[in-house]
């Protein structure tokens, strides 16, 4: 259940922090008590609030067991609680049982389930912006002890596009579980470990130090190595710009419009996260080295800076620029899954 997205260490299946609409199990308890007060008024309120009795604890423990075993099969559910109340469809005075119908139980759950669906779908939309899909969802919290809740979430979230729904074996330990998974993933308070590499790819791109323009001209007529590392496997700090210098070379006849590709790679697989298009003609002449070619056209060399900033809210800001001119910039989500493009 997601209300905020905080990236942990990078892997092909990305983890993110998960906080839902507070305690779903507690909300159901409150809805149950609200219904009891409405149906029985003081007949329920007075014995329930009697501090000298342990009936309140027994009732809530009994209700908790009913929550966990509830399947929505249409049957009624009985809770032992003595009251000075006549027999009705809601109470058996002979046995001293409160009677909850299947629709009563469904109403308790559906209130919370609807909130969870809304929160998760809303936050996934905000996190992904339609650029990728989150395949796996881990559900935690006491509510996940309920068979009905697990089945409802499994069906609903699969319909929403999640291919795998996981439920914690110890759902009540959701806070501890989240902290442990973050720790195992490499998150370290303010600094975070990036164990994947980000690449900038563009025809004619080379890392610093770049060769002089004449040396480039004297090379065989083939593109320079197009892919260069931007960020590779180190601890980075949120909101701190990381600037890398690249040298971009072009040959006569190449169009002035260049597209820079931001890629993520684990050494075997890679995917494009963003495309940033710029026009070399926009670069001030005092920041370019130009040399005419005998057959016409020009060779060019320009020093290009690529600045990456990892934002707290799960975004990676990329800016392509010279010392004096911003050529292109974009903000992209930095949380994705292995099958994001599928």
Task: Provide the phi-psi class of 164: left if phi over 0, else alpha when psi is between -120 and 50, else beta.
Answer: beta
Do residues 279 and 180 both lie within one domain?
no
Q: Let me know: does 206 contact 228? Beta carbons within 8 Å.
A: yes
Burial of 136 (0-12, 13-18, 19+ CB in 10 A): middle
What is the number of structural domains in the chain? Answer: 3
Convert the pLDDT of each residue in 237-250 to its tens digit. Answer: 777 888 888 888 88
Are 143 and 50 within one domain?
A: no
Question: Is 312 a member of any domain?
Answer: yes
| Pair 178, 18: CB distance under 8 Å | yes
Which H or E run includes 63?
A: helix 55-69
Residue-range definition of the domain harbouring residue 183 = 114-187
Q: In this predicted model, what pLDDT tens digit does every residue of 245-284 receive, in sequence order? A: 888 888 888 888 888 888 777 666 777 778 888 898 899 9
Asked if 61 and 123 sit in the same domain, the reply is no
Distance CA 80, CA 166 (A): 34
Question: Distance between CA atoms of 233 and 228, rounded to whole angstroms?
Answer: 14
Which residues in 254-272 are b (16+ Cβ under 10 Å) and which e?
A: beeebebbbbbeeeeebee
Which residue bears the tokens 């975004």?
315
- The CATH number of whichever domain residue 216 belongs to comes to 2.60.34.10
Closest to 145 measured CA to CA, from 53, 66, 46, 208: 66
From 68, 87, 107, the end of a domain falls on: 107
Last residue of a domain, one of 78, 107, 136: 107
Residues 215 and 325 in one domain: yes
The per-residue pLDDT string of the chain (342 residues; one tens digit each, 9 = 90 and over) reads 333 344 333 332 333 444 444 455 678 888 899 999 999 999 998 888 876 668 888 899 999 889 888 888 889 999 999 988 888 999 999 999 999 999 999 998 887 888 887 777 777 777 666 555 666 777 777 778 888 888 888 887 776 667 678 776 555 555 444 544 444 444 333 444 455 667 788 878 887 667 788 888 887 766 666 667 776 555 567 778 888 888 888 888 888 888 888 877 766 677 777 888 889 889 999 999 999 988 888 889 999 998 888 776 667 788 999 999 999 998 876 543 333 333
Any domain includes 103: yes
Residues 199 and 318 in one domain: yes
**Cβ partners under 8 Å of residue 133, min gap 6:** 161, 337, 339, 340, 342
- Percent above pLDDT 90 for the chain: 18
């Amino acid at each position: 259940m997601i209300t905020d997205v905080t990236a942990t260490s990078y892997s092909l299946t990305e983890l993110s922090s998960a906080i839902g609409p507070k305690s779903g199990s507690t909300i159901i308890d409150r809805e149950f008590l609200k219904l009891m007060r409405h149906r029985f008024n003081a007949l329920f309120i007075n014995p329930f609030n009697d501090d000298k009795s342990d009936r309140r604890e027994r009732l809530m423990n009994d209700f908790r067991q009913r929550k966990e075993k509830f399947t929505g099969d249409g049957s009624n559910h009985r809770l032992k609680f003595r009251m000075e109340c006549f027999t009705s469809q809601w109470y058996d005075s002979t046995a001293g049982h409160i009677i909850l119908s299947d629709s009563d139980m469904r109403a308790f759950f559906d209130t919370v389930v609807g909130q969870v669906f809304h929160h998760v779908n809303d936050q996934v939309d905000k996190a992904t912006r339609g650029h990728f899909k989150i395949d796996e969802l881990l559900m935690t919290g006491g509510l996940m002890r309920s068979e009905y809740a697990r089945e409802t979430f499994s069906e609903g979230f699969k319909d929403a596009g999640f291919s795998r729904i996981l439920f914690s074996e110890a759902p009540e330990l959701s806070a501890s579980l989240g902290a442990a998974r973050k720790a195992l993933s490499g998150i370290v308070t303010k600094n975070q470990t990036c164990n994947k590499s980000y690449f900038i790819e563009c025809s004619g791109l080379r890392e610093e130090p770049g060769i002089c323009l004449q040396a480039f001209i004297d090379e065989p007529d083939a593109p320079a190595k197009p892919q260069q590392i931007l960020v590779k496997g180190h601890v980075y700090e949120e909101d701190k710009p990381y600037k890398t210098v690249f040298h971009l070379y072009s040959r006569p006849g190449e169009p002035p419009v260049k597209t820079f590709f931001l890629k993520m790679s684990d050494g075997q697989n890679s995917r494009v996260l963003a495309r940033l298009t710029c026009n070399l003609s926009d670069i001030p002449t005092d920041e370019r080295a130009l040399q005419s070619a005998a057959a016409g056209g020009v060779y060019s060399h320009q020093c290009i800076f690529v600045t990456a900033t990892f934002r707290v809210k799960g975004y990676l800001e990329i800016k392509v620029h010279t010392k004096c001119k911003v050529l292109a910039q974009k903000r992209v989500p930095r949380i994705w899954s292995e099958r994001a493009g599928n």
